[in-house]
Each structure stands twice: as structure tokens, then as C-alpha cells.
Copies of this chain bind each other. A is one copy, B any other.
Amino acid sequence: MTKLNFHEDQPTKAQCKATLNSIADALHVIGGKWKLRIIVALKDGNMRFNEMQRLIDGISAKVLSAELKDLEMNGFIRRNVFTSTPVVVEYELTEYADTLGNVLKALSEWGAMHREEVRKSMKKSHSTEAV
């Protein structure tokens, strides 16, 4: 296991408070259950509303619509309307969404590791039960 070492030495109270504020800022904009998942879904390419709803398990149309508006307002996605017949509305990521690369990478690596840990500990508890 790796140590938390985002400050070279032991953090001071002031550094800790600054980190705390930065994380609060980040979670304020991209926290919650869905925002990052929507962004990852769009990495796959531009998508229409219904495609997105199919890809993201469990999101309702109402929530997806609200989250898309929020993400657009904060500059992470762009809503493109093509005035063809029928009218097509597609969502795409902006350049700014690319700045989340490290956050998404860290979260997806941690999530995969955590799933593996849970799987192992469940296996262990099952084999203990069997004894």
C-alpha cells in the first residue's frame, strides 16, 4: 500500500486546511453520484441523451437532464444542436473536461483495486464459514 504523501513532509495545519479547501472546491463542482460518470461516458465519443441514459446504469431522465445542464454551465460539456430533420442534439466534452484526466484515472484505479479487495475479503469470509 502506498502512503499518502502529497506533501513532502508532515503537513502543517495550514497546508492541511488548504488541501481540505481544494478538495471541497473540487467536490463542489464534480462531486455527487453522476457528474464524473457522465464525463467518462462522453469520453467514448459524442452522444445523444438516450444513448447516455442507456450507458449509465440507473440514471433517470430527469436527473440526467439536470446534471447535463450543470455540467454545461460549469464548462465541461457542450450541447450541439443539428438542425437536420429530425433535429439531433448531441453532447460533447470540452477541452476543460480534459483537465480532469488525473482525477478520473486515480478514481478508476482506486475503484478497480477496491472491488478486488472486497472480492478477496468476501472469498475469505466464505471459506472461513465453510471450515
Contacts and interface: CB of A to CB of B under 8 A. Distances in A.
Given A11-B44, A36-B27, A98-B4, A106 B108 contact: no
A17 to B, nearest CB: 7
Number of copies: 2
Given A20-B37, A41-B20, A43-B16, A111 B3 contact: no
Q: Which of A16, A32, A40 has the most CB atoms of chain B within a 10 A radius of its CB?
A: A40
Interface of A: 1-6, 11, 13, 16-27, 29-33, 36-37, 40-41, 43-44, 55-57, 95-115
Contacts of A100: 4, 110
A108 to B, nearest CB: 4
Contacts of A3: 98, 101
B33 A27 contact: yes
